[in-house]
Structure 1
Amino acid sequence: MVSEVKKNTVVTLKYTVTDSDGGVVDEGVEPLSYLHGGYEEIFPKLEDALQGKKVNESIRVKLEPADAYGEYDASLVLEEPREEFPEDIEVGSEVEGAAEGGDDEDFIIYRITDIDDEKVVLDGNHPLAGSALVFSCTVTAIREASPEEIKQGQVLEADEEKDG
């Protein structure tokens, strides 16, 4: 049995995320499991704070925009002609588009933020870009990662269900 969070362990967290004013961003209804050790499944600053923690230990980490979803980038906001979109689009819908200056394989998910008769406004920023976030969590379980999880660099669902 694993006693602390270390490289190549699967860590399960009960968590909540709030903005800097205390407004709830994510209630953490479902526990979060991730592969610890630099696999980029959670934010690095959060992973660093969890290193060495044991089951039932809690942390609270403030993530500045650069530590989370990045600064808001106005260049990722585009206006496109309305006629280029289907009739049934709605504000909040997501569309995939080519990244500006990228090759054919670089895609960005854009959220539709405004629609009028002439144009559609698309925002390629993550909805939480530019936001400072406070991540509060408690370690609820720690287990050794399977060789397949380590190879793939992520928690595998079948293993997660098997171990509870």
Structure 2
Amino acid sequence: MAVNDGNTVKIDYTGTLDDGTVFDSSENHEQPLEFTVGAGQVIKGFEEAVIGMEVDEEKEFRIEAVDAYGDVNPELVQHVPRAQIQIDGEVTPGVILVVKTPEGMELPAKVTGVSDSEIILDMNHPLAGKPLNFKIKVVEISS
């Protein structure tokens, strides 16, 4: 049985950046990744890669940034007055803060700069702008 739209699949995977850095792996989660093909539960390029595969089949593929987490959006880098950031302790570059949007949604934001008057926050996904490489194996297919 080959993977088609609407199937639920379980996949073992390892994702790497071009420099070989592993950014995620099903081994870290102690179970295969499970998703329904066509339901938009995983990034577009990943979903497209599994269509037509069969149980125990392995594949390596690359997803360009635009089909993964998108390009870096400069509008998601915000200069925020320090007075608007309520946090205990010192804020330093590299720290991840959780910020609330005016709609009440919580988003992770990486501190990329700090001055006496402002903090620069990058709310892009950490993998935005990066092509992703995957090695996958189909473990199970169900309808």
Same fold (TM over 0.5): yes
TM, length-normalised to structure 2: 0.83
Rounded Cα–Cα distance in structure 1 between residues aligned with 2:6 and 2:25? 27
Trace 1:96-111 onto structure 2 (pairs within 5 A).
96-98=100-102, 109-111=107-109
Q: Per-residue deviation at 1:9?
A: 1.3
* Corresponding residue number in structure 1 for 2:97: 93
Query: For each residue in 1:120-150, what CA deviation from the matched residue of structure 2 results, as whole angstroms up to 9, or x when unmatched?
Result: 2111211111101101110011112xxxxxx
Rounded Cα–Cα distance in structure 2 between residues aligned with 1:97 and 1:21? 34
Q: Does 1:80 align with 2:43?
A: no
* Corresponding residue number in structure 2 for 1:157: none
Query: For each residue in 1:87-109, what CA deviation from the matched residue of structure 2 results, as whole angstroms up to 9, or x when unmatched?
Result: 316421221224xxxxx58x572
Rounded Cα–Cα distance in structure 2 between residues aligned with 1:136 and 1:96? 35
SS in 2 for 1:48: helix
TM, length-normalised to structure 1: 0.74
* Corresponding residue number in structure 1 for 2:45: 45
Task: Assess if the C-alpha contact under 8 Å between 1:112 and 1:120 holds in 2.
Answer: no
Cα RMSD for the two superposed structures = 1.9
Q: Counterpart amino acid of 1:74?
A: P
Task: Assess if the C-alpha contact under 8 Å between 2:13 and 2:136 holds in 1.
Answer: yes
- Flag as ranges the 4+ runs of structure 1 deviating above 4 A: none
Q: Does 1:122 align with 2:121?
A: yes
Q: Does 1:34 align with 2:32?
A: no
Rounded Cα–Cα distance in structure 1 between residues aligned with 2:88 and 2:12? 38
Rounded Cα–Cα distance in structure 2 between residues aligned with 1:121 and 1:11? 40
SS in 2 for 1:93: strand
* Corresponding residue number in structure 2 for 1:140: 139
Task: Assess if the C-alpha contact under 8 Å between 2:65 and 2:132 holds in 1.
Answer: yes
Segments of structure 1 that go 5 or more residues without pairing to the other structure are 99-103, 145-164
Q: Per-residue deviation at 1:48?
A: 2.1
Q: Counterpart amino acid of 2:35?
A: Y
SS in 2 for 1:120: strand
Q: Counterpart amino acid of 1:24?
A: V
Segments of structure 2 that go 5 or more residues without pairing to the other structure are none
Query: How many pairs align?
Result: 135
